[in-house]
Structure 1
């Protein structure tokens, strides 16, 4: 009996030791992302910037002008996960539209950080724009869709990649596209035409956030004038931001200036990066 009692005490000590590895594992769980919420989208673009991007708004009656500058908020069911806004104005020379989208990526896998999951989501957007992945982590994320976690529907109607059901965001009325990247064929043709203008082809950017790229698409709808859409997508920690700026000339023969649209879209993207870092 004495021997059995000693043996039982030894077993208790062993079971207490087995609980420690579990405690260590939970202590090393991946850290949450830097951002826990999102700022209001329609208030993110200053009036001075909107006047520059929407020249046609200045000629509107005061009441309509105020409405144009206020923008139209995207429909969302969780403003801590996704927000967006759009603005549109026309002048005798051309019509312009601006759309911005903020997505806060959350990983529901305790072994994967929010930042790592955001890198995977961003990499899919970059790949969709026919650009080479900008970082090793991005290239490795091409197989993230096979992780066994079902993708959630994103605001644009394309499959999401955050690993859990996301807030649904409907593209604001009149937006040129429901997703930040254009179809591959259009993107490829845009790359060829933009290259001829010297260094304005769709490309990876190294001066915005943790990772960024620019897409430039020139397209025509029926007999209407060609319209150009410049998209700048960047990631800062676990937040991904898309800026989409479109111009369509009033005359069918008109062609929007690629450099001007790219400069304006990149300028707004830099301002949004600064806001996120405040």
Structure 2
């Protein structure tokens, strides 16, 4: 009887230790590591660059003819750019630059979008692939031309028009209606009589292979990329060309829009020059992400 209280105490302590062990096992089952093991990994990029500082003044001088001749105060204002309106700078930022010269106007717009997946089973990168794929599909790219230095998976053939053959537009896209980017979607597009000839006959510098200036998938820019090229008639006579380069690097999608409008309504902006400069800027931005 003298030892009963001690036995009870030992039993209570044993029960207490056993209960503590059980509680620890339960915590282990629900620890963050266990949850993370079944959750898709986050994207590589958690922040975005400052859009209006993403393009150097030297590059802007090249992309915006006439800016170098402006008075210093005006030049600084042009190079500062105008930030795009955004409500979440961690998710999306953009900037626009514009200049006018005696021979015409040029503008540049750069947009950065950081894609975040809210589905724990889908990674940010996979979600970014889906967003990028929708942008590429919306561009309605034509099939790659033979001999193109940048090619992608050809699209399905476009539906023939009433005459039984595909139509074409200024950008060289088959299956397009001359009145818009896609038949029935918009108006104001202008035919470029030199587009097909340029795409078929210009040398690419590799021994005579035809150079492709059509809208197309780009092979060597980020993880995925494409280029679009639209010649638009503004008003009754003036024409401007916009070259867009869109690329994805991990969970960030970057859009570059480079536009030129000559002062003379009879002039057509040079597609090759705009495309080369837009792609060169794209490569610089990709390198910036790699640093």
Shared fold, TM over 0.5: yes
Report the number of matched residues.
218
Whether 1:263 and 2:276 are equivalent positions in the alignment is yes
Whether 1:122 and 2:123 are equivalent positions in the alignment is no
Partner of 2:234: 221
Counting only pairs closer than 5 Å after superposition, residues 1-278 of structure 1 correspond to structure 2 as: 26-131=36-141, 183-185=181-183, 194-198=195-199, 199-278=212-291
* 1:99-155 residue CA offsets vs partner (Å, 9 max, x unmatched): 0000000000000000000000000000010027957xxxxxxxxxxxxxxxxxxxx
* 1:177-205 residue CA offsets vs partner (Å, 9 max, x unmatched): xxxxx943479987996343111000000
* 1:190-230 residue CA offsets vs partner (Å, 9 max, x unmatched): 79963431110000000100000000000101124210000
CA RMSD of aligned residues (A): 2.9
What residue ranges of structure 2 are gaps of 5+ in the alignment? 1-21, 144-151, 154-179, 200-211
Partner of 2:167: none
- Output the CA distance in 2 between the equivalents of 1:276 and 1:45: 13
* 1:220-242 residue CA offsets vs partner (Å, 9 max, x unmatched): 01124210000000000000000
Rg (Cα) greater in structure? 2
Q: 1:25 to 1:66 in 2, by over 3 A?
A: closer
Q: Which piece of structure 1 moves more, 25-34 or 66-75?
A: 25-34
- Output the CA distance in 1 between the equivalents of 2:181 and 2:87: 27
3-state secondary structure, aligned to 1:197: helix
Q: CA deviation at 1:78?
A: 1.2
- Output the CA distance in 1 between the equivalents of 2:107 and 2:89: 23
State the 4+ residue runs in structure 1 displaced beyond 6 angstroms: 186-193
Q: Which piece of structure 1 moves more, 59-68 or 38-47?
A: 59-68
Q: Which has the higher helix share?
A: 1
Q: 1:190 to 1:49 in 2, by over 3 A?
A: farther
Q: CA deviation at 1:25?
A: 6.0
Q: CA deviation at 1:258?
A: 0.3
* 1:2-52 residue CA offsets vs partner (Å, 9 max, x unmatched): xxxxxxxxxxx9xx89x9699856522100000001010110101110000
- Partners of 2:218 and 2:224 within 8 A in 1: yes
Q: 1:269 to 1:106 in 2, by over 3 A?
A: same
- TM, length-normalised to structure 2: 0.68
